Each structure stands twice: as C-alpha cells, then as structure tokens.
Amino acid sequence: MRKQNKNTVYSQKPGEKQVQKKIIKIIYLCFVLCMLTACSANNKKETNTGLSTGANSDKVSEDEKKATTEDTAVVMAIDTKNKIIKLQSITTGENLILNYTGGCDIRDKYGEILSINRVELGEIVEFSYVASKKKMYSMYISKTAWKYTGVENLKINEMENVMSIAQDKYQYSSTLVILSEEEKAMIMDINSADVLTLRGIDKKVCSVVIAKGHGYVKLLNEDSFIGGWVEVGQEAVKPVTKDMMLVVPEGTYTIYISKDGVGGSKSITVNRNEETLVDVGDLKGEEIPLGSVKLNITPKEAKLTIDGKEMDHNELITLKYGSHKIRITADGYADYSGTLKVKETLKELDITLETGGETNTTVTPTPKGTITPTVSITPEATITSEATITPEATITPAVSATTTPTKAPVVSIISSGEDGADYTHSDEANSEDDVMSSDSDSPTTSNGSYKIYIAEPESAEVYLDGNYMGLAPVNFAKTSGTHTITLRKEGYKTKSYTIYVNDESGDSTYSFSEMVKSDD
C-alpha cells in the first residue's frame, strides 16, 4: 500500500481558471471607476471653494467685466494679509481701497506674471476694477512710466510746481504722492539730505518715495569750538554755532569738529526722525594735522575760494585735515562747487571747468603723477553716482526754465491732504507791483530789513539751517532761497520742514502744526 505524498499538487480545471481571470478584471475595472469618481469629486470641491488658481470665485463674470473701470494710479499701500490694496488715481487724485484675490491678473511692464509681494509702493500701475464690489480685476505695471533712483538734493520750486532732477525739470500737481516709511508725507517733509525714488509719466512726476530719510545731530558742550567747523561724514560741513542742530541722512558716520588746529572725532549713528546727542566737550586736546594741496585749474584765470576765502590756486595750499567747501568760477565757464576732503600730507589734482551751463557742474578731478592720494573732491551733484534710470524709461525733454512773473499771493495755505493743513504761510507784499521770483536754484540773498516770523508752535526751539534762532514765536532776517526749519521741544518728536522763501519785499510768517509727543 503506497503512502500519499504530502506535497502533491492538485491540478486546476480549465473552467475554474477562466472564472478567476474574469473576477480579477472586474476588480480592476471597479478600482479604476472609483479613482475617476474621486478625482471628479475633488475637482468639484476645488471649483466650489475657490482653492485653484483659476477658480470661478476669483474670476470676474461677464456682467462684471462690462461694469469694470480702468484707470492709472500710484500704489500707496498693500495689505497682503487681508488682500487689500490702496491706490491714488493720477488723473483725479481719488483714493481707492480695493480687494483682490488670487485670480487677480497682476503683471510687470513686460507682461510677465508678477506676485503682489513684488509690487513696490510708489509704483505707477494701470488697473481695472469693479466699483460696485470694490474688487480689483487686473493690475499691470505701467509701460510708459519712468523711474529715477538714488536722487539727492532734489530742487523743488513750489511757485512753478517744478522738480529739478539733474539738469531736467518736471512738473507735478496736487495729485503727487509722497511716501515715507509707508506713510503719506508732504513736499515740505522732503529734505535735501534725503535719498529719493521718483516715478512719473512724460513730463510729470507722479510719486516720490523717501528711500533713505534723515535724523538730527545735536552738539553738547560745543562752546570752545564756536567759530570752528563741524563735519558729519561728507554729508554735512558747517561752521559751529551756539546750540546748533544738524540735519543728516540716516546712517553711521564719523563726526569731526575743530577750531584753530585743535579738535577730534567720534563715531555716531543717526536714525531716521530721531535725535542724536553728541558731547564734543572732551575733544579739545587733539591737535589737527595739516595737508598740502596743489590744484591745477583750467582755465588758469579762474577764481578759487575755499571755505569762503579766496585762494591763489597757482600756489601750494595748506589746509587742516577734514572737509572744506570749494568753489571755482570763471567767465564763460560753468561754476564748480564741491567738498575738498584733506586726509594726508600732499595731493595734486587737475580740475577742468566746462564751458557754459549752470552752477554745480559735475567735474571729475584727475590725480596727477604717483603722489599718494591725500584728498578727494565730492561734487555737489543732484543725483548720486548710484542714481539710475530704468532702461525702458522714455524721458521727455525738460520743462522750460523760462519764468513768467506773477503777483505774489498774500496768503497761502499748504495742506497735508487727509490730515488737514500742516502749516500756514503769509507774505506781506508792499504793493500790487511786487512779483515772485521763480528761480529756486539761485543763491540765497538777503532781503534788507524784512523778517521771517515763526509764530507756532509756541515755545518750540527754532533752528534755521541748523542754527538756533530762539523759541517760537521768533523772527529773524529774511533771506530768499531754500531753507530747513527744524523744531525741537522737550518731550516731543523733533521735526524739520523745507521752506521756499521768495525774494519779494515784505515779511513772511509761518505757523506750523502742533508737535507730536515722543514715545519715550
């Protein structure tokens, strides 16, 4: 009797094998159908919730498209958390606060898709929106807009509503947007020490962004240096006066002060809209070294003044270490103004004046021979060397500088827009025939016995171009031109304003708004 093998394999009948194949096919088809059903449901969910980029909720319906309005505006603020954007129309000056969604069509000036996070404040945009829903449909960076960056010492003629950028002049209007630290500012908040970004279309400036602002340097125990010179980097070089205060661009500097060959230096940091106190009382015993400068000026008959004193440029000039104001003039040539910085013992420089033109012509001094560099000259240019114009910008010819005399206004009120008037200004003209000077680039001149009155805010310390004038109400001699008025009061934020004093006969009175209490 044979034993049965435990590993015996039982053969499967042909019919059973076919049944198994059919079952596998049915299971596979069921799996595929389930997957397709799940994908369809997921797509419906995305469409209903608006999660996809092309969601119906983000799109504007055909009826909404018919109701859309198109305009050109300046971007004033963007709230990415709540998806809100604030714009100001260039044509009407109207402020618009609109909602936007992920479906909003945002593009750069080249037509490429752009993230809202990359849109800069002050940008000029062409946009469309549905007014009834306060909803933005599209926003394109303007292709026709131009842009200047790194602009310093901007010249503004408020009588003509003209801004001078380098040698070009552009108009601005009441719709001009000025932004500082994402807040709306005014023309008088712009200081010559600020670094700006300007944008516009054709001959018109539409927005100014204060990219780098200014702070204040207050000297303490400076009595022994009165009549000497103080220098903050190359940004401010001024004679030392009692209780003076300097307006300086924000940044880190070496402050240098001297008188009669004695002085010293300190490192300081200036923050925007803040006051930096510098005690110079311990800088009395440091002897200041001397350096020699040889200036080869063309034409040879040119007149040279350094720190207001006429010098013979045909001879070797000995100067104290530090910065010195230099001015070169000659008939038939553009005047040259700049800062000469003496650092070591000897330097020879070539300076060639350009024929014709206006003052402050940029001149690049050429070092001569192999003498160790000891001085540098910084021209008083309107735009820094980093200043750029976007390649795609089309800059129109400058606005004509020709002026038409107009009668001086008796009273003018400068308004800060939404915040109301920030200061009032009145001029007491002597007669109907008095006219307003419109040349803001002309040197400041004294107006005889006429006065500038600062009426308010009461009890505030008043500084004119860094020099202490007294407590408001206060008056001082009227000098036409551009000036910086700085107001200081214990427990309040120091504030400066840029004013433009005309050269007509009569006194001028300014009343500034109340000062803001400091957070300290």
Q: CB–CB of 304/336 below 8 Å?
A: no
Q: Which of 33, 52, 71 finishes a domain?
A: 52
The Cα 462–Cα 485 span in angstroms is 7
Q: In the prediction, which pLDDT does 364 show?
A: 35
Q: CB–CB of 306/294 below 8 Å?
A: no
Judge if 310 and 370 occupy the same domain.
yes
Judge if 383 and 333 occupy the same domain.
yes
On the question of pLDDT at 36 being above 50, the answer is yes
pLDDT digits (tens, 9 = 90+) for 165-187: 878 899 999 999 999 998 999 99
Judge if 434 and 497 occupy the same domain.
yes
3-state secondary structure 55-103: CHHHCCCHHHHHCEEEEEEEEEEEECCCCEEEEEECCCCCEEEEECCCC
Least confident segment among 37-51, 206-220, 265-279, 506-520: 37-51
Judge if 251 and 299 occupy the same domain.
no
Least confident segment among 27-41, 333-347, 420-434: 420-434
Q: In the prediction, which pLDDT does 402 show?
A: 31
Domain boundaries, position 423:
411-512
Higher pLDDT, 320 or 113: 113
- Which pair of tokens denotes residue 69? 């309005």
Q: Which of 29, 52, 75 finishes a domain?
A: 52
Q: In the prediction, which pLDDT does 24 show?
A: 74
Judge if 382 and 330 occupy the same domain.
yes
pLDDT digits (tens, 9 = 90+) for 328-354: 999 888 888 887 877 767 778 888 888
Mean pLDDT of 51-67: 52
pLDDT digits (tens, 9 = 90+) for 454-484: 999 999 999 999 999 999 999 999 998 889 9
On the question of pLDDT at 92 being above 60, the answer is yes
The Cα 484–Cα 207 span in angstroms is 22
Per DSSP bridges, beta strands 336-342 and 375-379 are antiparallel
In a domain, 64, yes or no: no
CB atoms within 10 A of CB 336: 25
On the question of pLDDT at 11 being above 90, the answer is no
Q: In the prediction, which pLDDT does 363 show?
A: 36
Judge if 506 and 435 occupy the same domain.
yes
In a domain, 154, yes or no: no
Q: CB–CB of 491/517 below 8 Å?
A: yes
Query: The domain spanning residue 330 has which CATH number?
Result: 2.60.40
Dmax (CA) of the chain:
147
Burial category of 198 from C-beta neighbours within 10 Å (exposed 0-12, middle 13-18, buried 19 and up): buried
Picking from 211, 279, 209, the residue whose alpha carbon sits closest to that of residue 251 is: 211
Share of the chain above pLDDT 70, in %: 70
Judge if 275 and 313 occupy the same domain.
no
The Cα 470–Cα 512 span in angstroms is 15
In a domain, 224, yes or no: yes
The Cα 57–Cα 80 span in angstroms is 19
Q: How many distinct structural domains can be found in the chain?
A: 4
Q: What is the DSSP letter of 131?
A: G
Judge if 261 and 324 occupy the same domain.
no
| Res. 125 pLDDT band, cuts 50 70 90 | very high
On the question of pLDDT at 442 being above 70, the answer is no
The Cα 186–Cα 188 span in angstroms is 5
On the question of pLDDT at 436 being above 50, the answer is no
In a domain, 76, yes or no: no
Q: In the prediction, which pLDDT does 53 show?
A: 36
The percent helix, strand, coil of the chain (3-state, each to 5) is 10, 45, 40
On the question of pLDDT at 54 being above 50, the answer is no
Least confident segment among 6-15, 181-190, 428-437: 428-437
In a domain, 319, yes or no: yes
The Cα 516–Cα 133 span in angstroms is 38
On the question of pLDDT at 231 being above 80, the answer is yes
In a domain, 371, yes or no: yes
CB atoms within 10 A of CB 479: 16
Mean pLDDT of 296-314: 89
Q: In the prediction, which pLDDT does 46 show?
A: 38
pLDDT digits (tens, 9 = 90+) for 242-252: 999 999 999 99
Picking from 275, 157, 277, the residue whose alpha carbon sits closest to that of residue 214 is: 275
Judge if 333 and 416 occupy the same domain.
no
Q: Which of 251, 279, 307 finishes a domain?
A: 279
Q: Which helix H or strand E contains 208, and what residues bound it?
A: strand 204-212
**Residue 234: CB partners within 8 Å, gap ≥ 6?**
323, 339, 341, 378
Q: In the prediction, which pLDDT does 221 show?
A: 93
Judge if 417 and 508 occupy the same domain.
yes
Query: The domain spanning residue 229 has which CATH number?
Result: 2.60.40.1120
Q: What mean pLDDT value characterizes the chain?
A: 77
Q: In the prediction, which pLDDT does 284 show?
A: 72
The Cα 301–Cα 476 span in angstroms is 39
How far, CA to CA in Å, does 349 sit from each of 290, 293, 297, 313, 378?
17, 8, 8, 11, 13
**Residue 279: CB partners within 8 Å, gap ≥ 6?**
220, 221
Q: What is the CA radius of gyration of the chain?
A: 34
Higher pLDDT, 149 or 519: 149
In a domain, 349, yes or no: yes
Per DSSP bridges, beta strands 383-389 and 411-415 are unpaired
Judge if 347 and 314 occupy the same domain.
yes
Q: What is the dihedral of CA 169, 170, 171, 173, to 10 degrees?
A: -130
Higher pLDDT, 213 or 38: 213
Q: In the prediction, which pLDDT does 338 show?
A: 80
Judge if 301 and 380 occupy the same domain.
yes
pLDDT digits (tens, 9 = 90+) for 383-400: 333 333 333 333 333 333
In a domain, 370, yes or no: yes
